Structure 1
Amino acid sequence: MRLTLVLLGLLSCLTLTPEAHSTQATVDVSPAPILFATWAHPGEFNAIFSVAQELSNTAPPYPIWFATTEERRAEVERAGMWFVSLGNESSSIDLNDQARLKDMYNGGPGTISALIDVLALIFEPRFYLNLHGGLVKAVEERRPRLMVVDSAMWIAYDVANNNNLPVAIIMPIFPDIWYSATNPTILVASGTGSSPRHFHFFDLLQAFKRKYVAPLFVIKSVLFDGLGKDKLALTGEFDIGSKILGRARAIISTCVWGIEYPFMHGPNLHLVGAIISPRGNDKDKTSDTIIEWINSADQRVILISLGSAARIPPVQLANLASALVETVTEQKVRVLWKLPRDQHDELLALIPSELIASSTVRVVSWIPDILLALAHPLVTVNINHGGANSFNEAVYYGTPQLILPYWSDCYDVAERAVDAGVGLAVRDGRHFEREEVKQFIRRLLLEKSFGLRAAFWGDKMRRAGGARRGAQILREVLEDLELEDVYGVEDAEVTTVKVIEDPEYVAGLWAVWKVVTLMVRSVAYGLRKVIQRLVDSRKIKTN
């Protein structure tokens, strides 16, 4: 009987297997055109360009068009990609618009005015209209299978959305900034300048303001101040995040869990660690002068790089310079300071001439390849402005850092640096004092824990995959698109986790928090009264 059943089973397998195989189509992922789009500013360009380079080197090779402004043409063409010109506007951040940059700097952590300034910068008409037209033309002429866009280039997302093209997003910032609209307030740390690991009552109020009040001011600016009027005219909507998160086939972010805080998200979010440009690992292509200077003495080096857009005010520049001069003398270290040329005279007037003459302090306007400097074993502290790229690069190379947050999300980056143990940060980048900075630098130089934590998280960053993992994810997206074509499946894209907060729950949470706070204060008040009575009674007995 058992033998009969076995024979019947084998017979059924033989008859069913061909039929089952006949329903499966052979999927051949043929090279498909891909259109990358980004701003030319390093903060947005570097990560997405590195992923595009990595993808262009995979087999089968994909025809890649790279859309950005003219200043990046030579770099794109050297990498073997087709260049799509988006005009001559150099950046989403106008470095000559010092008034706006100053307003963003003065906004501090999580202010509504700073948010409006950032949105106004993104939807600047001369950027939006010119770049929108160039992208529309590129899409109409080439009909890409997939668009890969930088998270700050809303123009590219709008073009993809209007043409019903699949889109993937490269996000060189911490993603919880984008997910605040789809998460409970208690999980939202972005924009508060605080951390969910030590979230206080006033931080909760700040998060409420950021999530519920700020959108009202954005709407007011759209209706009455013309914010994003060109976007509205071309797309008919002013979405600032939620639809993008749900429709994207992949969101590739340059961080790792553990440094990024936990929050609710969909399966399309991928954390791949710092995306380091391949040219940063090629020592033959960098200027030798900086490395030669670092190697010229067996002394530790403090590297200062405050971003290409940062212009710190005279008072803060003087405080930082004074703290560094004292540190150089006490700790026997050297300083390599990258500073815009228009601030050189101001800085040199604050530093003793003998330190410049002895090359103990070196001031430069540009470092051709800052990654090679960060990777150098003598560079033991990095002082930066809290930009996500600057932070991730320092972590990647295991360099402890001091963050002087410059604006907006830089304060959120600073909190992550402190929580991860990879560095220290001043509380307010607009008002730090000389002694505060000096003590922080001293701790970073002397306490081994910062170096160990930075090395640990650097290893985690490298193992996350970076540009190679990002390219692999894009290949998987293309394979999924090919499968959808083969089987005729539509609307298969993933969607983000959406949380609709219950108003009663939110109100109840606030009430519980308030009651607990009052109870603690009442107990403290009662204890003070008891202690005071004991002290008074002892005094009476003594008399």
Structure 2
Amino acid sequence: MPRSARPVLFVSSSGSGVLNPMLVLAGELARRGIPGLWFAADEHCRADVEAIRGRSTVEFASLGEEIPELSPTSWDDDTYWEITQRSTWKALRATALHTLEPSLRLDKHVRLDEIVRRVEPALLVVDKVSAYAARLAIARGIPYVVAGPFLPSNMLYPKVPKGFPAPNSGLGRHMTRAQRLANRLFPLRTAGLLRHPRIVAALLRFVRARRRLGIPARAGRPTAVTDHAHLVLCHTLPGVEYPMPLPDNVRTLGAMIPPLPEAPGADDDLSAWLDAYDSIVYIGLGTITRLSAEQIATLVDVAGKLDDHHVLWKLPKAQHGLLPPADKLPPNLRIESWLPSQLDVLAHPNVRVFVNHAGGGGFNEGLALGKPMVLHPLWVDCHDQAVRGADAGVSLTLTAERFDLDEVVHTVRRVLTEESFTARAEHFRRLQLELGGRAAAADAILGLPVLR
């Protein structure tokens, strides 16, 4: 088979924050009629992959069922709250102890190896979370691209300049003396985790598994995933990350936004509602955010206090039982358990502020579509995005761990009324258009020598 005719295989984990950009990128290649497109993901992602439409098709390859230990929707409440606590160090420690077990991913590796042998791809495009896929590519000598909606410092960790805010620390560029000390200690404490008995045992199992699977030692190094990549695509915008030298293979080309509207005519009632009100606050805290009854009550009260605006809140159906009776909800509040397209909502001119959890997906979509934001960081990397957003002048961050009514109302009103937030958001929207987003990312992939 001629080299240029061999397939391109996408490999993605199932979290929507990393899956959705990969679907958009695969969709862009399909629209261009690129032949031989494959997409390997967990079984429950099959419908999303098969829904991709273009001049060529995308074949789905199953990696089996989702791993419960790696899926936040499967965690018990104690695990969830421990991993999402506001102390970035404690949250990082909890994440490592809960998810670093290498045996969890062995089945994925074996399944992917079988797919690779069958498909014989010329190139793999893997998300940053699916490091096992990059290691397999290194072992098999297959060129690969790494992609993800993460800051370059997160993608390249631990290769960051001296004095740079430690990835996952939530520290900003301008630090107090105490914060500078905390910044120096953060990577040392992280390295110290390697001496934790559970992690030592897990690393020994990883080494044994690596050898058994024929993965070379160089593929197991912390920076191997990006060091050996032909291309590293950071789905964020320049000017958000603090200045740092980037390797030649790294590109920041903007968020992966599909052609809009994404779902025209899917919900005419919602479209009419968005058209009817000229100042809307959209609350979208992610599909896996688990709110308490107290937090839900606070956000309902927030909407009531913002009575000169309207509020659209995407709240998963499973949490609707924690809402007050319908007749007790503020008249300016609309709650939806599902949206045909969050991107279509964000692109609407009447949506003026986006309240989100600072996850890579939503945060970068907000930037790309020019929406100033109010951020409530959830996962460890979210704290880094939140401090970058504040320093870039496009967002403010809530400080209370479980929401404080007065703080939320005050913060949302600041972003609504201070013109600088809207101006900075508009700057990033224009920058997204200039950089090209998905089109530029597709061009970069197709320009690799292996596909010429």
**CA 467–221 in structure 1, closer or farther in 2 if over 3 Å, else same:** farther
**Whole-Å Cα distance in 1 between the matches of residues 221 and 349 of structure 2?**
42
Deviation at 1:228, TM superposition (A): 5.6
**CA 336–457 in structure 1, closer or farther in 2 if over 3 Å, else same:** same
The gaps in structure 1 that reach 5 residues or longer are 1-27, 484-543
2:149/2:235 contact within 8 Å kept: yes
Paired residue for 1:307?
Answer: 286
Query: Based on CA coordinates, which of the two structures has the bigger radius of gyration?
Result: 1
TM-score scaled by length of structure 2: 0.89
**Whole-Å Cα distance in 1 between the matches of residues 196 and 350 of structure 2?**
51
Question: After superposition, what is the alpha-carbon deviation per residue over 1:262-309, rounded to whole angstroms, capped at 9, x for unaligned?
Answer: 12321000001111134x5334363333223223x3341111011111
Q: 3-state DSSP class of the match of 2:374? A: strand
Paired residue for 1:74?
Answer: 47
Paired residue for 1:217?
Answer: 193
1:306/1:338 contact within 8 Å kept: yes
Deviation at 1:455, TM superposition (A): 0.9
Match of 1:186 among 159, 163, 169: 163
Deviation at 1:124, TM superposition (A): 5.3
Matched, 1:372 2:344: yes
2:300/2:329 contact within 8 Å kept: no
2:102/2:202 contact within 8 Å kept: no
**Whole-Å Cα distance in 2 between the matches of residues 288 and 90 of structure 1?**
37
1:109/1:191 contact within 8 Å kept: no
Match of 2:382 among 396, 400, 410: 410
**Whole-Å Cα distance in 2 between the matches of residues 169 and 97 of structure 1?**
28
**Whole-Å Cα distance in 1 between the matches of residues 197 and 25 of structure 2?**
36
Match of 2:26 among 32, 49, 52: 52
Paired residue for 2:214?
Answer: none
**CA 468–264 in structure 1, closer or farther in 2 if over 3 Å, else same:** same
Paired residue for 1:282?
Answer: 262
Q: 3-state DSSP class of the match of 2:196? A: helix
**CA 109–281 in structure 1, closer or farther in 2 if over 3 Å, else same:** farther
Question: What does 1:442-481 correspond to in 2, within 5 Å?
Answer: 442-477=413-448, 479=449, 481=450
**Whole-Å Cα distance in 2 between the matches of residues 309 and 385 of structure 1?**
10
**What's the Cα RMSD here?**
2.5
1:185/1:208 contact within 8 Å kept: no
Question: After superposition, what is the alpha-carbon deviation per residue over 1:492-512, rounded to whole angstroms, capped at 9, x for unaligned?
Answer: xxxxxxxxxxxxxxxxxxxxx
Question: What does 1:20-419 correspond to in 2, within 5 Å?
Answer: 30-58=4-32, 61-79=34-52, 80-89=57-66, 92-98=70-76, 99-106=78-85, 108-111=86-89, 113-120=90-97, 122-123=99-100, 127-196=104-173, 198-221=174-197, 223-224=199-200, 226-227=201-202, 231-236=206-211, 239=220, 241-278=222-259, 280-284=260-264, 286-295=266-275, 297-328=276-307, 332-348=308-324, 353=328, 355=330, 358=331, 360-419=332-391
1:180/1:188 contact within 8 Å kept: no
1:89/1:127 contact within 8 Å kept: no
Deviation at 1:78, TM superposition (A): 3.6
Q: 3-state DSSP class of the match of 1:178? A: helix
Deviation at 1:412, TM superposition (A): 0.9
**Whole-Å Cα distance in 2 between the matches of residues 250 and 29 of structure 1?**
19
Letter of the 2:160 counterpart:
N
Question: After superposition, what is the alpha-carbon deviation per residue over 1:117-137, rounded to whole angstroms, capped at 9, x for unaligned?
Answer: 334555456751221121010
Deviation at 1:178, TM superposition (A): 3.3
2:371/2:426 contact within 8 Å kept: yes
1:151/1:170 contact within 8 Å kept: yes
TM-score scaled by length of structure 1: 0.75
1:380/1:445 contact within 8 Å kept: yes
1:175/1:253 contact within 8 Å kept: yes
Q: 3-state DSSP class of the match of 1:265? A: coil
**Whole-Å Cα distance in 1 between the matches of residues 335 and 197 of structure 2?**
41
Deviation at 1:432, TM superposition (A): 4.0
Letter of the 1:95 counterpart:
T
**CA 251–222 in structure 1, closer or farther in 2 if over 3 Å, else same:** farther
Deviation at 1:110, TM superposition (A): 2.7
**CA 285–128 in structure 1, closer or farther in 2 if over 3 Å, else same:** farther
Percent sequence identity over aligned pairs? 27
Deviation at 1:221, TM superposition (A): 5.0
Deviation at 1:482, TM superposition (A): 6.4
Question: After superposition, what is the alpha-carbon deviation per residue over 1:361-403, rounded to whole angstroms, capped at 9, x for unaligned?
Answer: 1122221211111111111111111111111111211111110
**Whole-Å Cα distance in 2 between the matches of residues 311 and 370 of structure 1?**
19
Q: 3-state DSSP class of the match of 1:449? A: helix
1:338/1:366 contact within 8 Å kept: yes
1:275/1:467 contact within 8 Å kept: yes
Deviation at 1:109, TM superposition (A): 4.4
1:185/1:207 contact within 8 Å kept: no
1:162/1:235 contact within 8 Å kept: no
Question: After superposition, what is the alpha-carbon deviation per residue over 1:413-433, rounded to whole angstroms, capped at 9, x for unaligned?
Answer: 1111111111211135x1542
Deviation at 1:408, TM superposition (A): 0.7
**Whole-Å Cα distance in 2 between the matches of residues 411 and 178 of structure 1?**
15
Deviation at 1:171, TM superposition (A): 1.7
**Whole-Å Cα distance in 2 between the matches of residues 170 and 221 of structure 1?**
32
Letter of the 1:64 counterpart:
L
The gaps in structure 2 that reach 5 residues or longer are 212-216
Q: 3-state DSSP class of the match of 2:306? A: helix
Higher helix share: 1
Deviation at 1:460, TM superposition (A): 0.7
**CA 432–76 in structure 1, closer or farther in 2 if over 3 Å, else same:** closer
